[in-house]
Amino acid sequence: MAGATELARQRHRAHVEDMDGVEQAIVELTEEFALLPDWEERIAHVIELARTLEPLTPAERNEQSRVRGCVSQVWLVSERRAEASENLYFRGDSDSHLVRGEVAMLMRIFSGRTPQEILSVDPQAVFGRLGLKDALTAQRSNGLFSMMRRIQDAARSV
């Protein structure tokens, strides 16, 4: 029985590794949340993800990088890097621990992706799959979609 379980895990890992980067990140986040039994632990996990964010400089926390539509202060910066100039990279921050975690989730999904990959994502579907649609208040959901819109706008402008 243990052999069959391990074989299933290996097949699943191979299947996930064959996905594009966006889909792979969504599946991995979905699996992480599925392991957490209740919303308190899921929200704690989102807050824990905030620790993975690269910090923004004080100069990057400006009106141009500020995301409108969020209750909390949120800043998102997009950039290109020489090592993979076809991709967009994002960094972000917030004055709220929970929102910082949401930003970290978005960075895992979208940062380092091509504009085409970014634009292929349906924001509503992603957070439905993650199970966050029902867990977040309407204001938090609006803020999250404002962040996703900003990321997709950056992809459109390339």
Residue with tokens 């996905």: 19
70 is catalytic: yes
Angle between helices 21-34 and 2-17 (to 10 degrees): 140
Q: Which residues, 6 or more positions from 143, have their beta carbon under 8 angstroms from its beta carbon?
A: 67, 69, 70, 71, 72, 74, 99, 102
| 8 A C-beta contact, residue 93 and residue 102 | no
How many Å apart are CA 106 and CA 69, to the nearest integer? 16
Q: Which of 25, 50, 70, 88 is catalytic?
A: 70
The residues assigned a catalytic role are 70
